[in-house]
Structure 1
Amino acid sequence: MRLRHADGSLLHLAYCSNVHPADDLDGVSAQLERYTARVRERLDVPSLGIGLWVAAPALADVGAADRLAEQLDRLSLEVVTLNGFPYKAFHADVVKTDVYWPHWAEKPRQDYTLALARLLAKLLPDDVHEGSISTLPLGWREGWTAENQAASLRALADLASELEALERETGKKIRIAMEPEPGCTIETVAQAAESLRALAPEWIGVCLDSCHLAVQFETGTGAVAALEEAGLAVVKTQVSSALRVDDPASEEGRELLARFDEPKFLHQTREIVDARVQGTDDLPEALEGALPAKDQWRVHFHVPVNTSEHTTQDELLDTLGALAGANAPVTRHYEVETYTWSVMRDAPTDDEGLVAGLASELEWTRDRLVALGAEVL
């Protein structure tokens, strides 16, 4: 979905396909037909953006880019951004910390990301010059060494050189967006600024995930200001919202939290304790007493962005305002990323319900961007 910012810039709004399980190209193609095309039809828009997640095994398919490009054109879909965070098996029965491997000190991560960049260069619409790829923030913090840190930064510097060569070859500029996430080596905007400032800012920037910001009790306004000061670009944003429980010690709060305690994904939990952010790596630990539960909890569980009750929607609105509400947009790529529909207690159980839910999230986000001065094209 395309919008025009008040300054004339083109804004791209999409939803992320990592909500759909697909570990090979046939799976990706099937999900585009089964869901994404129907979301476009429901929204009644001439073209719909889709932030593709393509697992590493699918990239070995010779001719993948050509077939995908043909299908996207036939279904009136367009791709300007990829989600390169999960490497594979994002919809296994248990994902948890497996999603952080391989990390950036391991060569398969660099190879995967470069392959994604080459794919995206072929999929970008003819009238779009720049694409973006979000990726994990170096790696999970436990066991992370100084050697890992140095190897990761070397890998990213090498990748920047490859991306520069790719632009010379194709005329398409693909940028990498490091995505701070609770529990990772880079979990805050300040850590992103510290780790990435020495790299090539023209090619390596940040993906602001508004759920992750809220869980860490960071604000979009503060994040944008800090990144501008550090000279780092916001390459893309993931429009997302976290679970918020104001009284986690109450019976009502415990019942609400129990509804989101599920075994598939990691649900980092945070609380302000003595004016500092403290947390656990997963919700069960918090429920078992690892946090005092004297103040609001924020839980890394992506909930529908158009839901206001018990969510960080206010923080999401602040992030959207900081990114799209100024005289010029801070980023032009907006990707709704609610990948947890399959594990929500009250989620729809049929295709039509999921299509309706995804369309509602995109409508809500579009309307917020319009309220900030953008025009739908």
Structure 2
Amino acid sequence: MRFRHPDGSIVHLAYCTNVHPAEDLEGVIAQLDGCSALVRKELGVPVLGVGLWLANTLADRLANSSVALNRLRRALDRNNLEVVTLNGFPYAGFHDRVVGKKVYSPDWTEPARLRYTLDLVEVLAELLPADASYGSISTLPLAWRTPWDRTRDAAARDAFNRLELRLAKTHETTGRRIRVAIEPEPGCILEMIPQAADWLTPYAAQSLVGLCLDTCHLAVQFEQPAEAFSTLQRAGVEVVKSQVSAALHIPDPEDPTARELLNEFAEPKFLHQTREYGGPGIDDLDMLDQLSGHASWRVHFHVPVHAAPRPPLTSTTDVLDESLEHLVGGAHPLTHHLESETYTWSVLPNAPQNQQELAEGIAGELAWLRDRLVGLGLEEIK
């Protein structure tokens, strides 16, 4: 989906395909022909943006086989789908029975992470629409917080310096401007905006490496959008991409009804980091006894933005709304890439039972976001 900002530039809105489990080319094409096509039909839009997730083996194949890449391109074209952004955070196995901390491996101290990201750069340079101002790839915030030391930080810095050189070369040789965006996440080396801004400052002038702002993660950490954007502005760090999502919010953890409903979200597949306002944090919902319960909680559980959880639970759409105002509500957009990333549909208390229901849910989120963008003065391009 495309929107024209009042300044004349184009803002792209897509949904992330990491909600789908396929990791090979045949499976990805099937999901494009199936659910993605249904989402576009539900929305009634001429072109639907998809933020592709490509597992490492598929990224390698596409980067090294024009035949495979053309098969993917044809699937996108026949379904009127376009790709301006890739999700390069999960490496593989994102729909294993238990994902947990495996999603942070390999991290940016390991050569495999750089190789994977470079493959994604090659693929996106080929898939990017000719009129797109740039392409974006989101990636993990270096690593999980432990173990970490100066040697590991130096290795990550070296990897990003090499990545930056490749991005510049790709731009020079292909004319395609591909940018990589570090995505802060609770529990990781870079979990809050000030940490990310500090680490990214050396790349501020080049602007091929920047930030992916996930509004769910921002909310979980109880960060204030206005302060976060001010920090980024002072550091000269650009928001390359934003994942516009909402976290689970528990206003009163001592409410027995809230605790009972929260148990429905305590599933083993994904990690659900939880923070207490003004207090400590935990790495998953099975550690709740370590929190006092005297102040509100926020949980790293991406919940649909258009459908509030059962009361007294709520979601952080207020943080999302405020973030959107900063991102695209000003004289010029702070980013041109917005991505809906609710990958948790399969583990929701009332999970969709089939592909049609999933497509309706994804379309519902995109329609909700479309209304917000139009309300901020953007014009949908039909």
Which residue number in structure 2 is paired with residue 262 of structure 1? 267
Distance in 2 (CA, whole Å) between partners of 1:255 and 1:270 is 18
Which residue number in structure 1 is paired with residue 4 of structure 2? 4
C-alpha deviation, 1:96, in angstroms: 0.4
Which residue number in structure 1 is paired with residue 291 of structure 2? 291
Q: Name the stretch that deviates more: 215-224 or 57-66.
A: 57-66
Alignment of 1:134-213 (within 5 A): 134-199=138-203, 201-213=206-218
Partners of 1:220 and 1:320 within 8 A in 2: no
> Given the alignment of the two structures, is residue 342 of structure 1 paired with residue 346 of structure 2, yes or no?
yes
Partners of 1:23 and 1:54 within 8 A in 2: yes
Distance in 2 (CA, whole Å) between partners of 1:172 and 1:52 is 18
Partners of 2:98 and 2:269 within 8 A in 1: yes
Q: Any stretches of 5+ residues in structure 2 without a counterpart?
A: none
> Given the alignment of the two structures, is residue 234 of structure 1 paired with residue 239 of structure 2, yes or no?
yes
C-alpha deviation, 1:306, in angstroms: 1.1
Which residue number in structure 2 is paired with residue 47 of structure 1? 47
Partners of 1:3 and 1:12 within 8 A in 2: yes
- The match for 1:112 among 116, 119, 143 is 116
Partners of 2:197 and 2:232 within 8 A in 1: yes
- The match for 1:279 among 278, 281, 291 is 281
C-alpha deviation, 1:263, in angstroms: 0.3
State the percentage of identical aligned residues: 52
Distance in 2 (CA, whole Å) between partners of 1:332 and 1:129 is 9
Partners of 2:203 and 2:210 within 8 A in 1: no
3-state SS of 2:72 partner: helix
Which residue number in structure 2 is paired with residue 248 of structure 1? 253
Q: Which runs of 4+ in 1 moved over 3 A?
A: none
Distance in 2 (CA, whole Å) between partners of 1:219 and 1:306 is 22
> Given the alignment of the two structures, is residue 316 of structure 1 paired with residue 325 of structure 2, yes or no?
no
C-alpha deviation, 1:24, in angstroms: 1.2
C-alpha deviation, 1:350, in angstroms: 1.1
Q: Any stretches of 5+ residues in structure 1 without a counterpart?
A: none
> Deviation digits for residues 66-123 of structure 1, max 9, x if unmatched?
2211211111000000000000000000000000000001010001001101100000
- The match for 1:356 among 356, 360, 363 is 360
Structure 2: which amino acid aligns with 1:175? R
C-alpha deviation, 1:65, in angstroms: 2.1
Alignment of 1:299-310 (within 5 A): 299-309=299-309, 310=314
Partners of 1:100 and 1:140 within 8 A in 2: yes
3-state SS of 1:32 partner: helix
Partners of 1:136 and 1:179 within 8 A in 2: yes
Distance in 1 (CA, whole Å) between partners of 2:252 and 2:232 is 33
Which residue number in structure 2 is paired with residue 100 of structure 1? 104
C-alpha deviation, 1:138, in angstroms: 0.2
C-alpha deviation, 1:231, in angstroms: 0.5
Partners of 1:29 and 1:68 within 8 A in 2: yes
Structure 1: which amino acid aligns with 2:161? A
> Given the alignment of the two structures, is residue 29 of structure 1 paired with residue 29 of structure 2, yes or no?
yes
Structure 2: which amino acid aligns with 1:238? Q
Distance in 2 (CA, whole Å) between partners of 1:115 and 1:337 is 22
Distance in 2 (CA, whole Å) between partners of 1:223 and 1:70 is 40
3-state SS of 2:202 partner: coil
Structure 2: which amino acid aligns with 1:305? V
Distance in 2 (CA, whole Å) between partners of 1:237 and 1:374 is 17
> Deviation digits for residues 15-43 of structure 1, max 9, x if unmatched?
00000001111111111111001100111
Which residue number in structure 2 is paired with residue 365 of structure 1? 369
Distance in 2 (CA, whole Å) between partners of 1:175 and 1:263 is 33
- The match for 1:332 among 332, 336, 339 is 336
Alignment root-mean-square deviation, CA? 1.0
> Deviation digits for residues 266-311 of structure 1, max 9, x if unmatched?
00000123xxx4200111101xx11101111000000001134510
Structure-1-length-normalised TM-score:
0.97
Structure-2-length-normalised TM-score:
0.96
